Amino acid sequence: MTKQRVIFCDFDGTITENDNIVAIIRHFNPPGWEAIVNSIVNQTKSIKQGVGELFRLLPASMKREVIDYAISNARIRAGFADLLRYCKDNNIQFYVTSGGIDFFVYPLLAPFGIPEDHIYCNGSDFSGERIEITWPHPCEGGCTTDCGMCKKTIIGRFPSDRFERILIGDSVTDFEGAKLADIVFSRSHLTQKCAELGLPHHEYETFHDVIHQMKLQEAQS
């Protein structure tokens, strides 16, 4: 039986060219943010803990400025619409698995017509004094890394005997998912991590690189 291909695609630094969370925090520049970012990248602090702490540095009263900056600052990586078209034409399921936040993920993806139940990301709460991040997709089934939005848990819902699981990513939020995936497309920190762990991976700069490699693999199968 031919396996159903399914793509799990990161958002920050993958669908978008920049890391939106870091860009937001750097722009508003609250005291102490650099140390928190470094501890997330170095994995001395969990993603959930670190991202929660970063947004707590900003008052909830800045909601409008934060959202406006996040949306106006983001740039979509070349070839994204073409990849979605390729998936549709070739019956490949496509999911956005994002460690990003709802207030910028949904608006930036709106033009592309991705069903909302195919977008996994974190939530936000501006009702208190500080911005709070909410975590509707926590770690399950033995994942103990406190991911926040657990890609390993999402990917694990697609059994490897029925699905060919393809991950596209760039950073620390993708490390655990990459260990489960059958095919990994990587850039930046994820490339370094795959090399460290001895995980096979294909590097990409644009989504055209991903399409090209998938077509090659199709021709070989």
Q: Which of 157, 193, 156, 151 is nearest to 176 (CA)?
A: 151
Nearby residues of 94 by Cβ (< 8 Å), 6 or more positions away: 6, 7, 9, 83, 84, 87, 114, 118
Which tokens hold the place of 43? Answer: 């994995």
Cross-strand pairs, 123: 134
Identify the pLDDT of residue 142. 84
Q: Output the average pLDDT for the chain.
A: 97
What are 127-154's pLDDT values in tens digits?
999 999 999 999 998 899 999 999 999 9
- Does the pLDDT at position 100 exceed 90? yes
Its pTM stands at 0.96
What are 49-61's pLDDT values in tens digits?
999 999 999 999 9
Q: Which of 19, 44, 15, 216 is nearest to 119 (CA)?
A: 15
Residue range 143-170: average pLDDT?
96
Helices (H), the chain: 20-28, 33-41, 47-56, 63-73, 80-89, 102-109, 151-156, 175-180, 188-197, 207-220
Q: Which of 12, 42, 24 is nearest to 131 (CA)?
A: 24
What domains can be seen in the chain, in order of their start residue? Answer: 4-220 (3.40.50.1000)
Identify the pLDDT of residue 141. 83
Q: What are phi and psi of 137, to 5 degrees?
A: -125, 70
Cross-strand pairs, 184: 167
- Does the pLDDT at position 1 exceed 70? no
Cross-strand pairs, 8: 95, 167
Identify the pLDDT of residue 119. 99
pLDDT bucket at 177, cuts 50 / 70 / 90:
very high
Scanning the structure block, which residue is given the tokens 């470094």?
38
Identify the pLDDT of residue 221. 74
